[in-house]
Structure 1
Amino acid sequence: MIRIVQVLSVAAAVSAAVFVFQVKYRAEAVAERTAELERQLDSERETLSLLKAEWSYLIQPNRIQELVQRHGEQLGLKPLDPKQLVRIADLPFRPAGPKTEDKDALASLLEGATMTDKEALSALFDKPKDSLQ
């Protein structure tokens, strides 16, 4: 009876040790992955910082003015005319959509997918089939 308890105790101790080692290695793997992600994040932040600095250099008005003066003739650039600027209220309204008859014809075309091309065109444009040849 004592031998069974000793064997069970040894088996429990071995299984507990194996479990602890597995947990330890998993924790180390998670820590390594976290460190790798932090390194990538630092790299991305550094790249973003460099790109922001480069962008602020590229959009400096003095630099842009110099480029316009140097390449304006090749690109055909002209000064902006104040008449080109308008308010949103001054823009014309969007044109009206198709007439209701056209909508009905289109709806019937979609419903009747078995129509021939001539029938579809005649239904759309209200022309007889024979005149569409």
Structure 2
Amino acid sequence: MRSFLYIFSALAVVALGFWAYRENYTTQEAMREVRDLHREIGTAHERLQVLRAEWAYLNRPDRLRDLAELNFERLRLLPLMPDAFGKVAQIAYPAAPLFPITNPIEVSSDNDPAEEDQP
């Protein structure tokens, strides 16, 4: 019986060692993937910053004004001027629709509680 326990204990130690070995390599692989993902995220952030800088450069007002002037015959774009904008008071909002009263309710003041309270 004692030899069976020794053999079982030795097999359990070997099995646990094998499990720990596999978990160690699985963890290292996961850590490698996380590092690669962080690197990709950093690269994507750098690309995004470059694209934002290019967008800001291409949307400069003076550049857009020059492009509008160069392509006026084709696009018929006019430059933006302060007087091109209207005021809120100039906007004609539609009137709210008035619905007809179909089921009128008569209100009577015969049982007015305010009258009962008076002496």
TM-score normalised by L of structure 2: 0.69
Sort the Cα spacing of 1:14 and 1:69 in 2 relative to 1 into closer, same or farther, 3 A. Answer: same
Structure 2: state its 5+ residue gaps: 102-119
Sort the Cα spacing of 1:44 and 1:100 in 2 relative to 1 into closer, same or farther, 3 A. Answer: farther
- Within a 5 Å distance, the mapping from 1:70-81 to structure 2 comes to 70-80=70-80
The residue aligned with 2:5 is 5
Q: CA deviation at 1:67?
A: 0.7
Report how many aligned residue pairs link the two structures: 101
Within 2, Cα distance between the matches of 1:80 and 1:60?
A: 14
**One-letter amino acid of the counterpart of residue 16, structure 1:** L
- Within a 5 Å distance, the mapping from 1:56-95 to structure 2 comes to 56-80=56-80, 82-95=82-95
**One-letter amino acid of the counterpart of residue 22, structure 1:** R
- Post-superposition Cα deviations, 1:5-51, rounded to whole Å, max 9, x if no partner, equal 22012111111112201221221121122012112201211210111
User: Whose Rg is larger?
Assistant: 2
**One-letter amino acid of the counterpart of residue 21, structure 1:** Y
**One-letter amino acid of the counterpart of residue 49, structure 1:** Q
Within 2, Cα distance between the matches of 1:57 and 1:26?
A: 47
Within 1, Cα distance between the matches of 2:93 and 2:25?
A: 68
- Within a 5 Å distance, the mapping from 1:3-82 to structure 2 comes to 3-80=3-80, 82=82
Within 1, Cα distance between the matches of 2:44 and 2:74?
A: 38
**SS of 1:93 mapped into structure 2:** coil
Within 2, Cα distance between the matches of 1:64 and 1:80?
A: 11
Q: CA deviation at 1:88?
A: 2.6
**One-letter amino acid of the counterpart of residue 50, structure 1:** V
**SS of 2:92 mapped into structure 1:** coil
Sort the Cα spacing of 1:7 and 1:97 in 2 relative to 1 into closer, same or farther, 3 A. Answer: farther
**One-letter amino acid of the counterpart of residue 63, structure 2:** R
**One-letter amino acid of the counterpart of residue 49, structure 2:** S
Structure 1: state its 5+ residue gaps: 102-133
Within 2, Cα distance between the matches of 1:50 and 1:100?
A: 61
TM-score normalised by L of structure 1: 0.63
